[in-house]
Amino acid sequence: MLQLFTWRVVVFFFFWLFLQVLVSNAAGIDNYEEARRKMVKAIESDVRETSLYINKKSLDPRVMSVMGRVERHKFVPSAEQSRAYANQPLPIGHGQTISQPYIVALMTDLISVDPEDKVLEIGTGSGYQTAVLAEMGAEVFSIEIIGPLASKAAKRLQESGYDRVKTRQGDGYYGWEEEAPFDAIMVTAAAGHIPPPLIRQLKPGGVMVIPVGSRFMVQQLVLVTKDGAGALTTRQILPVRFVPLTGEH
């Protein structure tokens, strides 16, 4: 009798333990989903607040859906996990930052990525923006100048299933000649001028988004459009603050 009772207690205990694990796992998933939903709301609110600059009241729904999907917590250091979905830039080591989600969404919207577009990104950093571009369906090429960041991002992208993305370590000022021309180019570090090699590597009809300005002055996010005949048009979108584009150029 006593033995049967003990067995029941043991079975009940393990069943209870199993339920606890299930519940906490489900809660974990929900927490991130909920956090992403809040992040998307914060982006929407920033878009409305800056609508006079960016000339629209909402971004491409495809971009917003990708922002609600990509797991930003996988791209931020463990010390920053609790802030992974805050609408703010975060440190990623080596004096660099992962951009604010609103800026990531805006820049992705500005280059209007279509599936199968060939996109060059300069400044892989954490790899988060790279993942966003890959989720848009683009064929992404990304260059990072800091060795350890480049290898960490490459590994992280691979592990997260973004295996079509190609990354390399180097000075993005010179672009990726062997893979040019590109439908779109995104530079995520501020340059003193628009690098001529990047302009050359842009397809006719292509677009480039790049923060232009120096470290201690206001930088402007600039949209560069190359028309079918190769003529360039530039448009200043809004003031921003990015880490500088470094290198020997």
Interface contacts to ligand SAH, rule CB under 6 A? 96-99, 122-123, 125-126, 128-129, 143-146, 149, 171-173, 188-189, 243, 245-247
Closest to ligand SAH by CB, 54 or 128: 128
Nearest partner of 195 among 177, 169, 179, 178, judged by Cα: 177
For tokens 């790279």, what's the residue?
130
Asked if 209 and 236 count as a contact pair (C-beta separation under 8 A), the reply is no
Query: Residue 59 and residue 132: Cα distance in Å, rounded?
Result: 14
Distance of closest approach, residue 48 Cβ to ligand SAH, in angstroms: 23
Strand partners of residue 119: 140, 184
Q: Cα-Cα-Cα-Cα dihedral of 199, 66, 112, 164, to 10°? A: 50
Asked if 160 and 197 count as a contact pair (C-beta separation under 8 A), the reply is no
Distance of closest approach, residue 24 Cβ to ligand SAH, in angstroms: 30
Closest to ligand SAH by CB, 143 or 237: 143
Chain position whose Cβ is nearest to ligand SAH: 125
Asked if 92 and 115 count as a contact pair (C-beta separation under 8 A), the reply is no
Distance of closest approach, residue 74 Cβ to ligand SAH, in angstroms: 12
Distance of closest approach, residue 51 Cβ to ligand SAH, in angstroms: 24
Closest to ligand SAH by CB, 162 or 204: 162
Catalytic residue annotation: 99
